[in-house]
Amino acid sequence: TFATVAANFHATEAPKVSFPGVEIDLAKVVHGSQEVTVHQPIPASGSGRTTTRIAEVWDKGKAAVIVQESVTVDAEGNPQWTARSSIFARGEGGFGGERGPSESITLPDREADETVVTPVLPQQALLYRMCGDRNPLHSDPQFASAAGFPAPILHGLCTYGMVCKTAVDTMLDGDSSRVAGFRARFAGVVFPGENLSIQIWKDNGRLLISASVLEREAPALADVVLTLV
């Protein structure tokens, strides 16, 4: 999942949701979904170029969903990975656009093949912000309170990465080269210091995953699919 942060890894300032003609209050923005498709194994070092575009904008009534797509190629121009993310901007809907697609994954009606509890460190959000996401929602109690949360929340992408790593370690013996893609919808907030309960099902060349907060029995990620090579 390094592919999701590679382009912004050098960032030291809080992100801005700013496009031509569009200015969105960062406190009203939450991460909706994330998907990465790997076209070839990601090397430990190297160089490349990322091109990002706004792929879709959907009108959900009280909110807008903005889909961003980033395509990364290596130094020779060969596709390395494609990352797609959506943000949910509260109060920015109602502009008369299409609602967009709505797809969900049905989990198998049987016991999970594996259930793993993964702890979230109390300082996890402060560590993860070093990957380039300096949104104060994850570090500033006053900012988090203004956004309606009792405390700073964990980055959705941190939860995303932790769940992916848990699945790879548990089901693939830690071999990330067997991952062709990973996608998830952010279904709820996670607070540093909590524990993630992760259920994993084998399903015809892919892994279906459910992730929730153990202490609150609250959803964290939904519609999670890890596609195998």
Show which residues are catalytic: 133, 138
Quote the CA–CA distance of 132 and 50 in Å, as a whole number.
16
Radius of gyration of the chain (CA): 18
